[in-house]
Amino acid sequence: MTTSSSKNRFQDLSSEGRVENDVFEDDPDHEIRYKTLSWQLVSALMIAEIVSNGMLTLPNAMAAVGIVPSLVLTIFLGVFALHTAKLLIDFKLNHPEVHNMGDAGMIIFGPLGREVLSAGTIIFAIFGTGSELLSGQQALSTLSNNGLCATVLLAIFAIATFVLSLPRTLGRLSWLGLFSALLIAICGLLAMVGAGANPVRDRVIVASVPTNFYQAFLAITGPVFAYAGGTGDDRFFILISEMRRPQDAMKAAWLLQGFATTFYAVFSVVVYVYIGNGVLSPALFSLPPVWSKLTFGIGLVNFLIAGALYSHTAAKLVFVRFFRHSRHIYTHTALGWTVWTALCFAATAAAFVLASAVPIFSYLTGITASLFAAWYTYGLAGFFWLHDTYHQAEPQYTGGVGGSGIAALRKRPVGTVSAVSTVLAGAFICVAGTYVSVKLIVQAYEEGIVGKPFTC
């Protein structure tokens, strides 16, 4: 929804595609230039960041609810995520000064909204980094036959993640993202080949599984949060801000969601059909040792790059908040590099401490995904549409032409109902996901399966 009035109000495009009030200036004289990403590289970065962990949990979710419900949900959520991506992109194009979800919160909800959504982004990014660190540690443990203490391997992987997060612009990471996206695709293909070459005897495969609400939603949290790092997420704001042509962002969304939805569906079905209801999460643990090592070895690079991107996101939000439009953004100053390095280190160190010192870290990751990612990927997109549709009808946005914002919403009933439904969907996922995650923590303590901090 980018109307002509919104372009007049928010965008002044030059022949080179630059936008007035953009969060980043694109000056050839700047030592550090941000507006370098193409839409192809943006889609590669997003694939590198979200597909690996999402892909590896889906066969287990399919085992819980059956093939048909899982496939329907996977495809529906892919289409839904593409819809919310469109709303997010339109909002970004209408408000080029928005760099992250905190900036969007300031526009919609005021100062409190800015702080809450900024804090949520940082927390979710740190937990995302921690999840990738654990995936990397699992890969290293598998490859080394548990030859070193798990905490030591986690520390080694955290150091590598920190170093890789240090480039100041996403353009410097973009080709690594392309390489990572290719590797995770190869990892998935090899996992399917490994499962097909080593089918489990007497495996159980079902089309659907009767279950209660708790078990059903517990199972669907896999596909729900597999998409929760996609184009509806805060990181897409940050990525669009570093695109040469933000107007091409929807092309990246189509490529990402088309690839992710197809890959999720095919991977989960193939692995589940050959392994059956006993498939583990991550699914690579269900493969024979040789295949498990091969796939983990290839996926290791993706875990590293994805963790660096999460850490980079947390650092970038705070850095831009400190130095927006100052010389420290665009120049190699001692203060700028000191603060940037400290922020990247703090984000990665916090993720390492949480992943190694908090026994229920994986459960807390589910809570953070429910509280924040559910809104960032789904619910808030509805608020974006409602806000811009309402305000673009007001005189101060249209030069005296237009009427009541409520009237504008009434004139677009389909869009209004869709936006309100998107908000309600985000609220439902948030509440139900939090409930399921908290119940899982309680059950884990009751069953005595909670580990100890800093254990090998």
From 136-150, 200-214, 238-252, 321-335, the region with the lowest mean pLDDT: 200-214
Report the share of the chain in percent with pLDDT over 70: 88
Q: What is the pLDDT of residues 417-431, one digit of tens each?
A: 999 999 998 898 888
Residue 171, domain extent: 4-359
* Domain assignment present for 121: yes
* Domain assignment present for 453: no
* Domain assignment present for 374: no
pLDDT at residue 347 greater than cutoff 50: yes
Return d(Cα 2, Cα 96) in angstroms, integer.
12
Tell me what the mean pLDDT of segment 252-272 comes to. Answer: 92
* Domain assignment present for 326: yes
Return d(Cα 135, Cα 141) in angstroms, integer.
10
* Domain assignment present for 379: no
pLDDT at residue 315 greater than cutoff 90: yes
* Domain assignment present for 440: no
CATH number at residue 320: 1.10.4160.10
Degrees to nearest 5, angle at CA 88 with 85 and 94: 140
For the chain, the first-to-last Cα distance in angstroms comes to 52
**Short-list 441, 393, 421, CA closest to 4:** 393
**Short-list 109, 41, 407, CA closest to 256:** 41
* Domain assignment present for 92: yes
**Short-list 440, 200, 187, CA closest to 293:** 187
Q: What is the pLDDT of residues 34-71, one digit of tens each?
A: 999 999 999 998 888 877 767 888 888 888 888 998 88
The CB-side HSE value for 363 (13 A sphere, CA atoms) comes to 17
Under 8 Å CB-to-CB from 242, ≥6 apart: which residues? 24, 34, 35, 36, 37, 169, 170, 171
What band does 113 get if pLDDT is binned at 50, 70 and 90?
Answer: very high
CB 85 within 8 A of CB 43: no
- The two structure tokens encoding residue 252: 């990246």
The number of distinct structural domains making up the chain is 1
Model's pTM, two decimal places? Answer: 0.87
Tell me what the mean pLDDT of segment 161-186 comes to. Answer: 91
The DSSP letter of residue 400 is T
From 114-123, 172-181, 351-360, 395-404, the region with the lowest mean pLDDT: 395-404
Return d(Cα 235, Cα 122) in angstroms, integer.
11
Backbone torsion region of residue 233, taken as left when φ is above 0, otherwise alpha when ψ lies between -120 and 50, otherwise beta: beta
What band does 267 get if pLDDT is binned at 50, 70 and 90?
Answer: very high
From 94-103, 355-364, 395-404, the region with the lowest mean pLDDT: 395-404
pLDDT, mean over the chain: 85
* Domain assignment present for 83: yes
How many CB atoms within 10 Å of residue 170? 24
